[in-house]
Amino acid sequence: MAIRFLKFIYQTLQQSLRTSWVLFKIMIPVSIVIKVVTELGLLPYIGKILSPIMKLVGLPGEMGIVWATSLLVNIYGGLLSFVAIASQVEVSHAQLTVLLSMILVAHSFPVELQISSKAGVKLWVMFVIRFGFAIVLGVILNLIYTYGNYLQEAIVLNPIVSNRADSLWLWALNELKNYALIIVIIFVLILALKLLEKVGVVKLLNKMLYPVLKVLGIGKEVIPISLIGLTLGLSYGGALIIDEAKTKKLPKRDVFYAMTLMGLCHSMIEDTLLMISFGGHVSGIVFARIIFALIITYIIVSITKRMDDSRINSLMNSNL
């Protein structure tokens, strides 16, 4: 019994390291490039490019640097950028919620788009879906808040993000800590998935969620992985799809629809709590984000399910 248990743990650890390595091959070079771009001070110029989009969604043009930082670095980098310029620009509660909701949809593109690509969806396809949906969500929320006269009071910023040291040594040390944490998280996720599968919870979840996710075109094979992506993050959900695709043949449509939903709405626990703590309103951060993500996914499914397999294959990479 003990030998079987140790073998089970060993196999799970092997799978965790294999899955983590897939992520690290993407994250490490991208992190270095982004650090160089940041150190060279190029982010403000990219922010200016996004300024017209900010005005389209009712935000000051200066917020372009915040979204640019979120897109190229991560959510925390975007929030730190916001803290840096918040004293120079007056922003309402509604505007902050619009900005944070857009960031939740579209962030960390250099890493997350590569992971989506490795999982099977072409990089440009996921870029269009997430970047486009972020703008659509921003426009809709701005219209609702403006014409409904909701959340128009000026914000009192209560950031929970602390500044990080600029030292290259501390940056590298922090990156190593993050990578170690990723290995631990992936090990726990895979272990939990296997245990849940053995005790029948995965089967029960599949049965409960199948009617809902079937409407969205997501098959039973990827429902558990989709749940991980939705709750914990695209990196973890995408990494598990990459690993799963190596051991079994996943239908391309299932992968495309699952990655679409995860791309539009992921990390519903950590990132949601972070944005609400930062000052975002639950109406945009939670409700609008989930509702419109489901609607957009349904629209994409409705359009693409009429396509033949060759058209779907044109949206996917050949690694599946």
Residue 132: band (very low, low, confident or very high) from pLDDT cuts 50, 70, 90? very high
Answer whether residue 118 shows pLDDT above 80.
Answer: yes
Rounded-to-integer distance, Cα 266 and Cα 272, Å: 9
CA distances from 26 to 15, 19, 43, 176, 221 (A): 17, 12, 21, 14, 25
Q: Tell me which residue has tokens 């040594």.
A: 169
Residue 319: band (very low, low, confident or very high) from pLDDT cuts 50, 70, 90? low
State the average pLDDT over residues 11-26.
77
| pLDDT at 129 (0 to 100) | 96
State the average pLDDT over residues 205-227.
75
Rounded-to-integer distance, Cα 116 and Cα 307, Å: 21
| pLDDT at 320 (0 to 100) | 57
State the average pLDDT over residues 193-210.
72
pTM, entire model:
0.79
State the average pLDDT over residues 170-176.
79
* Residue 59 DSSP one-character state: -
Catalogue the long-range contacts made by 4-13 (C-beta closer than 8 Å, 24 or more residues apart).
Answer: 8/194, 9/191, 12/187, 12/190, 12/191, 12/194, 13/187
The SS3 call for residue 168 is: helix
Answer whether residue 224 shows pLDDT above 50.
Answer: yes
Rounded-to-integer distance, Cα 222 and Cα 257, Å: 10
| pLDDT at 146 (0 to 100) | 95
120-129, 198-207, 302-311: least confidently modelled range: 198-207
| pLDDT at 163 (0 to 100) | 46
As a whole-number percent, the residues of the chain with pLDDT over 70 amount to 90
| pLDDT at 162 (0 to 100) | 45
Specify whether the CB–CB gap between 252 and 219 falls below 8 A.
no
Specify whether the CB–CB gap between 94 and 146 falls below 8 A.
yes
Per residue in 65-106, pLDDT tens? Answer: 889 888 988 887 788 778 777 767 789 999 999 999 999 999
**Closest Cα to residue 81, out of 112, 106, 47?**
47
| pLDDT at 282 (0 to 100) | 95
91-105, 196-210, 215-229, 277-291: least confidently modelled range: 196-210
Could you tell me which residue, 206 or 8, shows the higher pLDDT?
A: 8
Answer whether residue 166 shows pLDDT above 80.
Answer: no
Answer whether residue 59 shows pLDDT above 90.
Answer: yes
| pLDDT at 154 (0 to 100) | 85
